[in-house]
Structure 1
Amino acid sequence: MTGAGSWPPEADPVLRGEARGQGRVYQATRDQLITEHHHHYQEAGAAVAVASPDSVRVARVDRPPRVLRNREELRAGLVAALAEGGAVHVVHGMGGTGKTSLAHWLFAEATRRGQVGLWVTASDRLSLRAAMLAVAADRGAQAGEVLAAFAGHRAAADLVWQYLDRSPQRWLLVMDNADDPELLAEGGWLRSSAAGTVLVTSRRAVAALWRTATTHPLGALPLEDAAQVLCDLAPESGTLDQARAVARSLGCLPLALDLAGSYLAHQILESWTMADYHDHLQDDATALIDQGAQLSQGPAEDRQLVSRTWQITLDSLSAQGLPEATTLLRLLSCWSADPLPLSVLASGAAAAGLDQLSPPLPAAQLEAALRALLANSLVSLQPSDPARPSAGARRLQVHAVVLDSVRAGIPPQDRRSYHRAATALLAAALPAPEAGRAPAGELLLLAPHVAALLRRGAQEVPPESIELAIRTAGSIHEAGDYQAAAALAETAGRLAQEIGGADAPAALSARRQQGDSLRRLGRLQESVQLLQDVLSRCEAVLGGDDPQTLQSALTLSLPLYLLGQRENGLALLERAVAGLRRVLGEQSPQALQGRALSLELLVDVGRVADFVHQGASTVADCEGFLGAGHPVTVVAYSNYAYGLLHAGDPPAAHAAAERAVQARIALHGPEHPLVYSAKLVLSWALMLCGRHEEAVLLMREAAEGRERLLGTGHPLSVRARILLVERLVAAGRPAEAERLFRENLADAERVSGADDPDLCRVRALFTR
């Protein structure tokens, strides 16, 4: 705008002009090109037409925590940073871990210490820019300067940091919800200043902008603190023990705890206790947790729901051209929240049909999708444990609440295809039966994920998942974890019955595996009852010569034998072996397994001549057809050594028992119940060879190993203590032997029966 002036000039050749206020006069005696750049500074106090927040002096938190539990070490470090200034700290973690609550606590602490607290929401470009310019105004920038920066006439971030650097008071600047670090980078908003401290909260664990900052990962709370949070929020709803149970089900995630506590504290029509809440969590956890947000006293737009907390990040990744991250997290949600070996994703991705999912997940994009989930704290990566090499290499872990909410968000029409892909990946990671045993550590890592596949209900679970569970239960059984094997087989059998009825082949296979594991657990009566029902159904549905019927008969023979029905057990076993040899052939592992098992039973019923006739050929056939390291061959080694002791050939028995122990260790590792069974046989051979002290030491090791792995009340543990008595007598330690015998006699009669041959032999040592 041109101001008042004098024109045209009079005779005076000197041109004159005058302007007032913001006016300008342009004067030239020749042609002149004028380029202008304007900065309009208003008078102090003039209105500024910028969409700035109402205040940057107030922390934007929906419901500030009544008490901030745990985080003591991190809080102490951040308080020290307040005093020092000049640093940038980034607190990162997945949604719901309490990053904003921690920032709110530090904000309050800073203001309590006389510092200026400045709060900026950094979730989007416009909010960030407006709030940072409001920070500049708070620190003394004139309204005209702020308007110029807002209009782009001067560098906005430079203006903000100019006034932050000049601030006469120390300050804390919180940049909350900076989940897209690129927004901070592109405007140059994130800097450090000696005048104050910067705290950034973000879901992004990895970002180039964090390289010069101090980063602090934030995860779930410890169980005790999580339980106390629930008691803080709903003190009348239950006991601390009940709060622990709820907290454990919620994975100790602060957001879930907050919503659960809000629900319990603000009920009107219902009056659930924490125990009631825990029971209802088993039905639809995500929907129930979200109901706590409906009782929030904050604005509706500020209420956080677990069902959408992580979807925000997934939507952002899809907008960035990576929809595969959503597919991968949905796939992970089919499994358990337990650690998952990375090898599961790496080994079977190409064959699992991931490119047929919706959205598709091509194998080439798997790495990028995984990196995106890691960078946004939706999954975490656990390093391998040098102390437990058998537990596998690196593992992924996803919080249980994340899995539940993501799983609930999969379109119903897509769930079965995701389930099939998850099953195929686990099946590829589990060694095939003919490949030998899997390391126990790997099996223990895979087992909870296989079990999780069975929890989705009959409508979602494909037959492949049940078959995988039965196969996994068998592998776990071979690895020596009979309790886990029985539980997994029971779950698989129950679901198979629900889908196909009690006579379905999968149901019968699962229940047979369950019965065999119950036998190993010493629950012999339960084992016999279950296996007799399985055998009856197999005979009725499949016929007497079906391999599954014959295998069921073989499996039933063992608990019958252990219950003292030795003749019946052996007769059933021999019929099964004859059928397996006829139906499957002499070289089949099933027929050879039956022959190997019969070696022990033959000598126990007094048919030593039959043992001598069959023993060496059975071992030779197992070695020749299956190989020396096959589990069936190892059973043959061990039972052959046992039979040689009854046949009266201690030197040969000693050599065979040594080989059996080494084969057991090579197959199962040193800590396995069957290794200690083999050492028991070797101890007996040492005793009969006159090496009494060695026999006592090895027998004591076998007894203690069985007690450690199976429990002191297990029949095999009781039997081991009774047989240790025999070794002590042979070693010339009668007083110690008699004391041990008296202590264990009642248990031995209870679990084995008063007529058990081993017990009768040991009892005779004290009644001569």
Structure 2
Amino acid sequence: MSRAEPRGIAAPDPRRITTRREFGRELTLARRRSGLTVRQVATRVGLPTSTLGGYFAGSHLPALQPADLLVTLLAALGIDRAEDVRRWGEAYWRVREGATDAADFDDSKNSARLLVSTRPPVDRLAVEPRVRGRDTLVRALDDRVAAAAGCEQSTAVHVLQGLGGCGKSMVALTVAEHAQAAGIPVFWISGDSTETLAAGMHALTVQLGAAGYLSEGGSPPDTLWRCLDDLLDRWLLVLDNVDDPQRVLALPGARIGDGTGWLRPVEGGRGTVIVTTRDGDQAIWGDPLPPWLRLHRVGGLSAADGARVLAELAGDDDAAGGAELSDRLGGLPLALMLVGRYLAETRRIPSRLGASALPRTYGEYRDTLRHSGYRTLVPEHGRGDERLVIGRSWRLSLDLLARRGVPQAGALLGTLACFGTEPIPYGELLLAETLSGTTLFEGITARGIWQALRALDDLGLITLHAPAESGERCSESLELHPLVRDMARHDAASSEPAVAYLETGTALLHAALRNAHPKSPEAWHKWRSLLSHATAPLELLTVLPTATAAVRAALELGGDAAQYLRASGLRDRAEATFSAVLRLSADRLADTDPLRLDIEHNFARLRYDQGRYAEAEQLYRTVLARRRARLGHRHPDTLVTQHYLARTLRRLREFEQARTLLEETFRIRLELLGARHPDTLTSRQGIADLLRAEGEVAQAETIYAEVLADRTEVLGPDHPATLSTRQYRAELLHARGHLVEAEAELRLLRAANQRVRGADHPRTLAVGSTLAEVLVDLGRPADAAEVAVVVAGATRRLFGAAHPATLAARRRLARIESEITGVATDSGDSSAPPAHR
């Protein structure tokens, strides 16, 4: 650099740039060292202040035209040595080749979020049987939590391990209730999946006030534990149902005992962590265990404590009989609860209805188990599959329901068990008009469905939840205990009934998602509630190797679920789902099957969204070749893949190949469909996009104008495709400096989007963002601030306070307000991608 370097400001280094945000960060360092403001740089370069602000914020890269723009910008910042300019040029193309399309915002930025809470569900203690037989463990944990501030040397992380249904969570909940009563903050996170735990930990980080660090790309576990360790008083963190601890708690390639993942030693001794899990493999937790972690094995209750649980529920004071039955049930609290409720119910049935054949006492229930031919419940030396205990218990409960005139309760439980592990929105799924047309539930009515649900709930096999008092999109939901689900699903997945259960489940899911397009933001609330259920039928395919109609339906659901995850920005989860669907499709569908090709085409779109353009190109080429072989060169699906391949080649800067494919696609569509068919117009717009990428802005604008005129007449002025073309054209008007015309068009376009798509739709917000920038460039910051305030508020409602889009909207508003006050703000330090480009 030619001018003297100021002290205290780090030197920019383009060699460490890999992302657009990093490009903006290094460029900001160069501006700071130059001593220039953004406005001064804009004056020297001859560009609008808002455009330069985007460069420094990392929102977008310098344009390709004029060709010397980057060199001019660097010279204005005092960077003129040939070697320095070369390195900046290399960084520029490194980032540009890995960037995402602005037009793809709807598919990549509008990330759906899992709904989680950190509040401990202590209200559950009021409706469950009293926790018994755990006094010593509860007291020890209470003491640790209460005295944590003075226990720097004591173990702070306690893992409660045991069979599902043994009461681990109830122990943790009891300790949590005691801590809350003592005024100690308690944070409760579900760990039943990697995604759920990460979402909960993210919510906790936001709750502790560190959301900004996450938006800057820091390590989420590091950020959270820094917040926890900085707390000045005692606290309790519970990680519940972490049944796959290695995958959920540890970093990839690391061990839990390394203390680098979500579970770590507590610094300062002020906090306590309790983990509940089924997995007690010490090789996973540490062999030997790390000094900061203690493993507690939670077994069955003693006979005496089990008898007390039975007496509380069944009302039988036969302590000896209760103790013996408790032994037969393995002392499992869940099994004891089910049996106690079962016996309470049979005692209420009048004997004249035939109830005399049902077990009504501890001894009769024990005899039923003994003479049923069922294998030994608790094998010698405590070994064997204790889940058989609960399995026999729920089967007896289903027998009772059949005797009470609810014969379809068993089939309903099996159907529910074939859905996912998340709460099941039965108000959306269990529609009588769909169920009544299936083999398992032929002719069933809404009243019959409700009767079966209530019966299952009464015996504790499921838990019904009423809708939340707030939220217009809430639905009635239910939950199955994991053990009940395991056993019911085991029966449903046996080879004989699996087809019927798969047909029923897929029929219900297809009906619930009939009008919920996975790429439509308006449908994402439904996909969020049904996602785990839409992918759950894939598990049944392991016993169904042939491609029946139900198998195809399950694969189609899985593919749509993966599409939703891709469109909503959850790319890692989308990749995992795509991989599972593609693996199952490969075993059951021919390589030219249209369904398989559709899934593979969408997987290629994911690779494109991930910036893995070379892989996307190869995938598109494979799908294109197979679609040409199966469907022909001129089939609409073939042309769709050809169009997307051309778009990928454009990103790879293979402009000639892209042009060849775009022009061929346009020619065929023109011949088959006519000049004004929507697909033909899409091809024309693709050509305009290519010209825009090549810097031929004037030609691109001409085509955009022609496409806009045709789309307006063919599709209507308010069709989403028409509005999108208007948006691209307005952006070009802004870029070319036609500010007055751009403002007029953007105001009309904003009103149209609000009317058609809604005030909070991403496209509406994108138009508002551009309008605010135009108003700034017109020298009207007060008007710009009025628009930016609306955009920032809507973005917060749509994405949440910590989302990068929200933070970008807030920074934009702050920058505009600084234009009004004259107090400069620096948007480069905490830059994030623009909210709606």
Cα displacement (A) at 1:366? 1.7
Q: 1:618 to 1:462 in 2, by over 3 A?
A: same
Shift of residue 489, structure 1, vs aligned partner: 3.7
Q: Which residue identity is paired with 2:597?
A: L
Is 1:596–1:632's contact at 8 Å kept on the other side of the alignment?
no
Percentage of identical aligned residues: 23
What residue number does 1:468 align with? 557
Which of 569, 574, 583 is matched with 1:494 structurally? 583
Secondary structure of 1:531's counterpart equals helix
Look up the equivalent residue of 2:480 and give its one-letter code.
Answer: V
> Residue 5 of structure 1 corresponds to which residue in structure 2?
none
Q: Does 1:551 align with 2:640?
A: yes
The question of 1:314 aligning with 2:395 is answered: no
Query: 1:330 matched to which residue of 2?
Result: 414
Is residue 2:500 matched to residue 1:417? yes
- 1:172-228 CA-partner distances (Å, limit 9, x unpaired): xx997142435444699xxxxxxxxxxx99xxxxxxxxxxxxxxxxxxxxxxxxxxx
Cα distance in structure 2, aligned partners of 1:426 and 1:340: 11
Deviation at 1:445, TM superposition (A): 1.0
User: In the alignment, which residue of structure 1 is the partner of 2:255?
Assistant: none
Alpha-carbon distance between aligned partners in 2 of 1:631 and 1:576, rounded to the nearest angstrom: 22
Letter in 2 for 1:456: L
Distance 1:607 1:74 in 2: 64
Unmatched tracts of structure 2, length 5 or more: 1-130, 139-170, 179-277, 279-297, 323-336, 352-360, 363-374, 545-549
| Alignment counterpart, residue 650 of structure 1, candidates 714, 735, 739 | 739
Question: Any unmatched runs of 5+ in structure 1?
Answer: 1-60, 77-96, 108-116, 136-173, 189-199, 202-289, 749-757, 759-768
TM-score w.r.t. the length of structure 1 is 0.53
Structure 1 residue 397 corresponds to structure 2 residue 486: no
8 Å CA contact 1:333–1:407 kept in 2: the answer is yes
In the alignment, the residues of structure 2 paired with residue 530 and residue 520 of structure 1 have an alpha-carbon distance, to the nearest angstrom, of 13
Q: Distance in 1 between matches of 2:620 and 2:300?
A: 57
- In structure 2, what is the Cα distance between the partners aligned to 1:352 and 1:122? 34
Q: Whole-Å Cα distance in 1 between the matches of residues 495 and 818 of structure 2?
A: 69
Deviation (angstroms), 1:356:
1.5
- Once the two structures are superposed, residues 280-308 of structure 1 have per-residue CA deviations (whole angstroms, 9 ceiling, x without a partner) of xxxxxxxxxx999545649x999952433
Name the residue aligned to 2:67.
none
2:665 to 568, 576, 596: 576
Contact 1:600 1:640 in 2 (8 A): no
Q: SS of the counterpart of 1:396?
A: strand
Structure 1 pair 557–463 and aligned structure 2 pair: CA distance change class (3 A): same
Per the alignment, residue 373 of structure 1 pairs with: 456
| Closer/same/farther in 2, CA of residues 568 and 75 from structure 1, 3 Å limit | closer
Q: Partner of 2:475: helix, strand, or coil?
A: coil
- Match status 1:444 vs 2:531: no
Q: 1:72 matched to which residue of 2? A: 174
Residues 1:529 and 1:293: Cα distance change in structure 2 (over 3 Å): farther
Q: Given residue 423 of structure 2, which amino acid in structure 1 is its aligned partner? A: P
Going from structure 1 to structure 2, the CA distance change for 1:584 and 1:462 (only over 3 Å counts) comes to farther
Give 1:527 shift: 3.5
* Counterpart pick for 1:509 among 590, 598, 610: 598
CA contact (8 A) 2:604 2:619 kept: yes
Deviation at 1:387, TM superposition (A): 5.1
Q: What CA deviation, in whole Å up to 9, does each residue of 1:381-432 have, x standing for no partner?
A: 3333455434x32223223432231121125222112212211111111143
Q: Which has the higher contact order (CA 8 A, sep 6+)?
A: 2
CA gap of 1:539–1:624, structure 2 versus 1, over 3 A, is same
Residues 723 and 175 of structure 1, relative CA distance in 2, 3 Å threshold: closer
Q: Is it true that 1:639 corresponds to 2:728 in the alignment?
A: yes
2:605 aligned counterpart, secondary structure: helix
Structure 1 residues 506-655: aligned runs within 5 Å: 506-565=595-654, 568-569=657-658, 571-583=660-672, 589-626=678-715, 630-646=719-735, 649-655=738-744
In 1, are the aligned partners of 2:428 and 2:475 still within 8 Å (CA)? no
Contact map agreement 1:532 1:556 (CA 8 A) in 2: yes
One of 422, 428, 433 as aligned partner of 1:344: 428
Residue of structure 2 in register with 1:427 after alignment: 510
The secondary structure found in structure 2 opposite 1:384 is coil
Amino acid in the other structure paired with 1:179: Y
Q: In the alignment, residue 422 of structure 1 is paired with which amino acid?
A: G
- Contact 2:692–2:700 under 8 Å retained in 1: yes
Task: Please list the CA deviations of residues 336-375 of structure 1 after superposition, one character each: whole Å capped at 9, or x if unmatched.
Answer: 021232343354x424554422787555522221221222
Higher mean alpha-carbon deviation, 462-471 vs 644-653, is at 644-653
Distance change >3 Å, CA 119–CA 598, structure 1 → 2: closer
| 1:84-126 CA distance string (max 9 Å, x none) | xxxxxxxxxxxxx99995995598xxxxxxxxx8975987xxx
Cα displacement string for residues 437-491 of structure 1 (whole angstroms, at most 9, x for unaligned residues): 6432111112211111222235536112222333444455555555555544443
Describe the superposition over 1:575-619 as per-residue Cα deviations: whole angstroms up to 9, x where unpaired: 334434444566655444444555444434344454444334433
Aligned letter for 1:427? H
| Aligned equivalents of 1:301, 1:685: Cα separation in 2 | 69
SS at match of 1:639: helix
Q: Is the 8 A contact 2:555 2:585 kept in 1?
A: yes
Q: If the length of structure 2 is used for normalisation, what is the TM-score?
A: 0.50
Amino acid of the structure 2 residue aligned with 1:322: V
- Please give the secondary structure, in 2, of the residue aligned with 1:380: strand
Structure 1 counterpart of 2:771, which letter? L
Aligned twin of 1:41: none
Asked whether the 8 Å contact 2:538–2:554 carries over to 1, the reply is yes
Q: 1:688 to 1:602 in 2, by over 3 A?
A: farther
Following superposition, the deviation at residue 513 of structure 1 comes to 1.5
Q: Deviations over 1:464-521 (max 9, x none)?
A: 2222333444455555555555544443233222212443322221122223234334
Q: Sort the Cα spacing of 1:565 and 1:673 in 2 relative to 1 into closer, same or farther, 3 A.
A: farther
Give the counterpart letter for 2:485 in structure 1. Answer: L
The within-5 A match list for 1:204-219 is: none
**Letter of the 1:365 counterpart:** G
Aligned equivalent of 1:177: 340
Greater mean deviation of Cα atoms: 469-478 or 457-466: 469-478
Query: Is the radius of gyration larger for structure 1 or structure 2?
Result: 1
In structure 2, relative to structure 1, the CA distance for the partners of 1:362 and 1:688 (3 Å cut) is same
The corresponding residue for 2:779 is 690
Counterpart for residue 358 of structure 2: none
Contact 1:374–1:381 (8 Å) recurs in 2: yes
1:688-723: CA deviations, max 9, x gaps? Answer: 4333576689789789969x9799999x99999999
- Distance change (3 Å), C-alpha of 1:561 and 1:450: same
CA contact (8 A) 2:541 2:551 kept: no
Secondary structure of 2:172's counterpart equals: coil
Equivalent-residue separation in structure 2 for 1:292 and 1:634 (angstroms): 66
